[in-house]
A and B are shown apart, each in its own frame.
Chain A
């Protein structure tokens, strides 16, 4: 990561030039880039490589071997877990599609009164950590939950919504369908109207038109969303853990490490499989999408023509949308009821209502909340600082290897939280923090660092987008008026990027605040626990569920406010830019 030194001016002797070659002068950005590379190498690449290495290592002799993988597939529990993880992820994609497709289609193709409401409500599941909703879903859809109690009473049968893997599929598809909704809606909206008109002009209409033109053009958006859902579900630890479904890969990895021990190779083998599947899915989607960036060919825009609904269609559409939204909001409704209920067991609704849960929660959870604010705050701050630096280096300098820095930071997307957690435990157990004497792996700061690494890709995208919107001419104008590079960055670039940076901070903060999969591996004492882990602990006992739900509501409020805030910042920033930019 050195600045490319120009060929020396003629006339200088080799002896004069030698020091330059041996000690190349590093520019400011290059030094920053080098530090970031070392940081990411130490806290992302090294731990993951360590995990992969251990997976291929004989636990006894330390020699490289494939035996661990042989053992993995020879154990029926692991084979079952592997199949289950795959099945749950695939089915979650199917159900998420069933939820998202009608919403996307109805709101983009027709003049539909509640389109804005649907599109905003569609985001709501994302503002709740999935495992938080899991317990509430148990109470509504479980074997003795509201719906089945009513079904049994009135119709004499029940539906096993939440039994075993079904529960994981239901909770995950309700939580992650917005990824498909957002991507699919965007690509439907981006289809140039003349694409549809040209087909109509040549005699096509109705379902044939949808099948031959509209759907293929929306396909890239759908695939992008579906792959994201698949990976997220495949890697998720919290939801199966809370639903007590242990025969899946991520929970198995967690249980092996926590119960058998850090030296058990199976946790590492599972980690390698998780990473391999993430990378494989991303690669497969890349192959499918290659050459399918249709936006460059479509010039006009304007979106598809919207049609008015006939009365019968309207009833059908509103009915379907209401039912889906009710389903989608059920975790929130359930959580709210649980947090306000006295006892809720074997009954459609809680027996009585009280604020006692909130009081209990407050008395027991202040430490969790302050920890969360501290960890998520540090993580988000680190993310935007690193994100801004990488964005500047990639977009504004010619430093060698700058793209690599971008890829390095983005690579965190393919690393499941549980894998990063295992990697940290393995890599930093023996490393003592200077002056404190504690192992790095159990020091609280490691939790903040894990969160920082996990959220970095998102913050980086926000910073990149923010910098891309700053016209290069604005910087050149400052330099032309005598400002140095550093002063230009401080006085022009950073202030103009501020909106995007803030939005990145808030998003990182809000999502880091409810992360469970990496933190659950790294929490070494209750005093160091963040909120997500607190909820997990509460939910372990029936008597703690009310207070756990109350803490869950706190989490939802934090993430919800964060999302709202970042939305407001982005909108305000957009307005400001269009006012000054266009005329």
Chain B
């Protein structure tokens, strides 16, 4: 059950519902065999973009090419893309076997071939024994797997997953996302995964696109997006970020960031003008002694998280989040302690205004 791998090119796609712009100037290339995630908050347009690729909803302007062929004018049933729905959409009047066989019957496949293909697809998701059940006799996780089997059995060119894990409970979600990834690797299917959960996107996808307000904010590997966000939205949306606003001053060869409060930090990269720097909580160290380029502050609050302790520190005119690793026996700092924050400026990201 392997198909020829194809890529997806999305070129200048625009879509509006009446006067509301839902997608604006979307450009994106997904490589053959890639596991790609659309990540964004609800209303960001990620599901709409996915549905546009499948051919649902109003037809967008622009081009969507699957394996080099523009599909934007094709109805859903001629696109040959497999989609797994958020609600699974298993037809309740058909048994598991009939659900999985549906697409093959639509393709007028002889029934002698349908039987083995259905069995193989059910085997792939480990639910061969449930073939005669009705959908309402299945658990959420089982329904999810059957929906997946129903989609991959027709060997679509690409696989679209619309928030496939959102209806599962937490422990099952972790297990299913691993299974999904393993299945995708096995089939070599170009896959797009829509989610609002950054952990899901981070753990599964080769690359991802972060969307907000119908616009792609940034495209890259999960690590690239986390370490070097291109704008404040991406910085805030992926993990916890301390954001200090200010301007850049040059003294000799040094480039310094000056916060609104006058606190200064030496930057290691190129920067200019006004803007903000993004500091991740784990890239800040707490010390009791002042040093060159430290920010002085006061601990307001602490949260014990097990592997680390999270401190909320009043510094540089804002409340900064600082994570310190925890080892057995270490007491850490108490609230109301005056401290100094040593920033790893190698990791600081400058985002010009």
Is A203 in contact with chain B by the CB < 8 A criterion? Answer: yes
Is A299 in contact with chain B by the CB < 8 A criterion? Answer: yes
Is A217 in contact with chain B by the CB < 8 A criterion? Answer: yes
Is A194 in contact with chain B by the CB < 8 A criterion? Answer: yes
Assess A202 versus B92: contact at CB under 8 Å? Given A194-B87, A299-B167: no
Assess A197 versus B77: contact at CB under 8 Å? Given A202-B103, A202-B150, A297-B136: no
24 A-B residue contacts at CB 8 Å? A194-B85, A194-B89, A195-B89, A195-B91, A197-B54, A197-B56, A197-B83, A197-B85, A197-B89, A198-B91, A199-B91, A200-B56, A200-B75, A202-B154, A203-B77, A203-B103, A203-B106, A203-B154, A204-B102, A208-B106, A212-B102, A217-B93, A297-B136, A300-B87
Q: CA separation between A192 and B102, bound complex, in Å?
A: 18
Q: Give per-residue flags for A209-222: 1 if the beta carbon is below 8 A from chain B beta carbons, else 0.
A: 00011001101000
CB-CB nearest 6 A-B residue pairs: A202-B103, A194-B89, A198-B89, A203-B106, A200-B76, A297-B92
User: Are B76 and A292 in contact (CB-based, < 8 A)?
Assistant: no
Q: Name the A residues within 8 Å of B77 (CB-CB).
A: 200-205
Q: Name the A residues within 8 Å of B136 (CB-CB).
A: 291, 296-297
Is B90 in contact with chain A by the CB < 8 A criterion? Answer: yes
Q: Name the A residues within 8 Å of B91 (CB-CB).
A: 195, 198-199, 213, 216-217
Q: CA separation between A208 and B102, bound complex, in Å?
A: 11
Q: CA separation between A294 and B56, bound complex, in Å?
A: 23
Q: CA separation between A195 and B91, bound complex, in Å?
A: 6
Minimum CB–CB distance for A197 against chain B, Å: 6
Is A298 in contact with chain B by the CB < 8 A criterion? Answer: yes
Minimum CB–CB distance for B57 against chain A, Å: 9
Which residues of chain A in 176-204 are interfacial with respect to chain B, using CB atoms and an 8 Å cutoff? 192, 194-195, 197-204
Candidates B81, B87, B94, B107; contact of A201 at CB < 8 Å: B81
Which residues of chain A in 496-520 are interfacial with respect to chain B, using CB atoms and an 8 Å cutoff? none
Minimum CB–CB distance for A309 against chain B, Å: 17
Q: Name the A residues within 8 Å of B167 (CB-CB).
A: 299
Q: Name the A residues within 8 Å of B54 (CB-CB).
A: 197, 201
Minimum CB–CB distance for B163 against chain A, Å: 11
Q: CA separation between A200 and B89, bound complex, in Å?
A: 12
User: Are B89 and A294 in contact (CB-based, < 8 A)?
Assistant: no
Q: Give per-residue flags for B143-156: 1 if the beta carbon is below 8 A from chain A beta carbons, else 0.
A: 00000001100100
Minimum CB–CB distance for B224 against chain A, Å: 32
Assess A192 versus B134: contact at CB under 8 Å? Given A200-B77, A201-B82, A202-B102: no
Is B86 in contact with chain A by the CB < 8 A criterion? Answer: yes
Assess A205 versus B75: contact at CB under 8 Å? Given A217-B91, A297-B135, A300-B87: yes
Minimum CB–CB distance for B177 against chain A, Å: 20
Which residues of chain A in 40-87 are interfacial with respect to chain B, using CB atoms and an 8 Å cutoff? none
Q: Name the B residues within 8 Å of A202 (CB-CB).
A: 77, 82, 102-103, 106, 150-151, 154
Q: CA separation between A198 and B147, bound complex, in Å?
A: 9
Q: Give per-residue flags for B165-182: 1 if the beta carbon is below 8 A from chain A beta carbons, else 0.
A: 001000000000000000
Q: Name the B residues within 8 Å of A212 (CB-CB).
A: 102
User: Are A297 and B76 in contact (CB-based, < 8 A)?
Assistant: no
Q: Give per-residue flags for B90-104: 1 if the beta carbon is below 8 A from chain A beta carbons, else 0.
A: 111110000000110
Which residues of chain B in 124-159 are interfacial with respect to chain A, using CB atoms and an 8 Å cutoff? 134-136, 150-151, 154
User: Are A299 and B93 in contact (CB-based, < 8 A)?
Assistant: no
A sample of 6 more A-B contacts (CB under 8 A), given A203-B154, A297-B92, A300-B85, is A197-B83, A197-B89, A200-B55, A203-B80, A291-B134, A300-B87
In the complex formed, the residue of B with least CB distance to A202 is B103
Q: CA separation between A212 and B91, bound complex, in Å?
A: 10
Minimum CB–CB distance for A208 against chain B, Å: 7
Assess A204 versus B106: contact at CB under 8 Å? Given A197-B76, A297-B136: yes
Q: Name the A residues within 8 Å of B89 (CB-CB).
A: 192, 194-195, 197-198, 300
Q: CA separation between A297 and B83, bound complex, in Å?
A: 18
User: Are A216 and B93 in contact (CB-based, < 8 A)?
Assistant: yes
Assess A217 versus B92: contact at CB under 8 Å? Given A197-B76, A202-B106, A297-B136: yes
User: Are B93 and A294 in contact (CB-based, < 8 A)?
Assistant: yes
Q: Which of B80, B83, B94 has the most CB of A within 10 A?
A: B83
Q: Name the B residues within 8 Å of A194 (CB-CB).
A: 85-87, 89
Q: CA separation between A114 and B187, bound complex, in Å?
A: 50
User: Are A198 and B75 in contact (CB-based, < 8 A)?
Assistant: no
Candidates B78, B80, B82, B92; contact of A298 at CB < 8 Å: B92
Candidates A203, A213, A217, A219; contact of B107 at CB < 8 Å: A203
Which residues of chain A in 103-117 are interfacial with respect to chain B, using CB atoms and an 8 Å cutoff? none
Q: Which of B83, B87, B154 has the most CB of A within 10 A?
A: B87
Minimum CB–CB distance for A21 against chain B, Å: 45
Q: Name the A residues within 8 Å of B83 (CB-CB).
A: 197-198, 201
Q: Name the B residues within 8 Å of A291 (CB-CB).
A: 134, 136
Minimum CB–CB distance for B85 against chain A, Å: 4
Q: CA separation between A297 and B154, bound complex, in Å?
A: 23
In the complex formed, the residue of A with least CB distance to B83 is A201
Q: CA separation between A483 and B267, bound complex, in Å?
A: 69
Minimum CB–CB distance for A236 against chain B, Å: 33
Q: CA separation between A212 and B94, bound complex, in Å?
A: 10
Q: CA separation between A195 and B135, bound complex, in Å?
A: 13
Minimum CB–CB distance for B113 against chain A, Å: 16
User: Are A199 and B82 in contact (CB-based, < 8 A)?
Assistant: no
Minimum CB–CB distance for A89 against chain B, Å: 27
Q: CA separation between A298 and B82, bound complex, in Å?
A: 20
Q: CA separation between A536 and B337, bound complex, in Å?
A: 95
Q: CA separation between A160 and B227, bound complex, in Å?
A: 84
Minimum CB–CB distance for B122 against chain A, Å: 16
Q: Name the A residues within 8 Å of B81 (CB-CB).
A: 201
Which residues of chain B in 54-92 are interfacial with respect to chain A, using CB atoms and an 8 Å cutoff? 54-56, 75-78, 80-83, 85-87, 89-92
Q: Which of B76, B80, B107 has the most CB of A within 10 A?
A: B76
User: Are B107 and A294 in contact (CB-based, < 8 A)?
Assistant: no
In the complex formed, the residue of B with least CB distance to A205 is B77
User: Are B85 and A198 in contact (CB-based, < 8 A)?
Assistant: yes
Q: CA separation between A212 and B81, bound complex, in Å?
A: 21
Q: Name the A residues within 8 Å of B78 (CB-CB).
A: 203
In the complex formed, the residue of B with least CB distance to A213 is B91
In the complex formed, the residue of A with least CB distance to B78 is A203
Q: Name the A residues within 8 Å of B55 (CB-CB).
A: 200
Q: CA separation between A297 and B96, bound complex, in Å?
A: 13
Q: Name the B residues within 8 Å of A208 (CB-CB).
A: 106
Q: Name the A residues within 8 Å of B75 (CB-CB).
A: 200, 205
Q: CA separation between A202 and B76, bound complex, in Å?
A: 8
Minimum CB–CB distance for A202 against chain B, Å: 3
Q: CA separation between A297 and B98, bound complex, in Å?
A: 16
User: Are B150 and A297 in contact (CB-based, < 8 A)?
Assistant: no
In the complex formed, the residue of B with least CB distance to A217 is B93
Minimum CB–CB distance for B353 against chain A, Å: 38
Minimum CB–CB distance for A371 against chain B, Å: 50
Which residues of chain A in 148-197 are interfacial with respect to chain B, using CB atoms and an 8 Å cutoff? 192, 194-195, 197
In the complex formed, the residue of B with least CB distance to A206 is B77
Q: CA separation between A296 and B87, bound complex, in Å?
A: 12
Q: Name the B residues within 8 Å of A192 (CB-CB).
A: 87, 89
Q: Name the A residues within 8 Å of B154 (CB-CB).
A: 202-203
Q: Name the B residues within 8 Å of A197 (CB-CB).
A: 54, 56, 76, 83, 85, 89
Q: Name the B residues within 8 Å of A298 (CB-CB).
A: 87, 92
Assess A297 versus B107: contact at CB under 8 Å? Given A197-B76, A202-B150, A204-B102: no
Q: CA separation between A294 and B134, bound complex, in Å?
A: 11
Q: CA separation between A197 and B75, bound complex, in Å?
A: 11
Q: Name the B residues within 8 Å of A203 (CB-CB).
A: 77-78, 80, 103, 106-107, 154
Minimum CB–CB distance for A274 against chain B, Å: 33
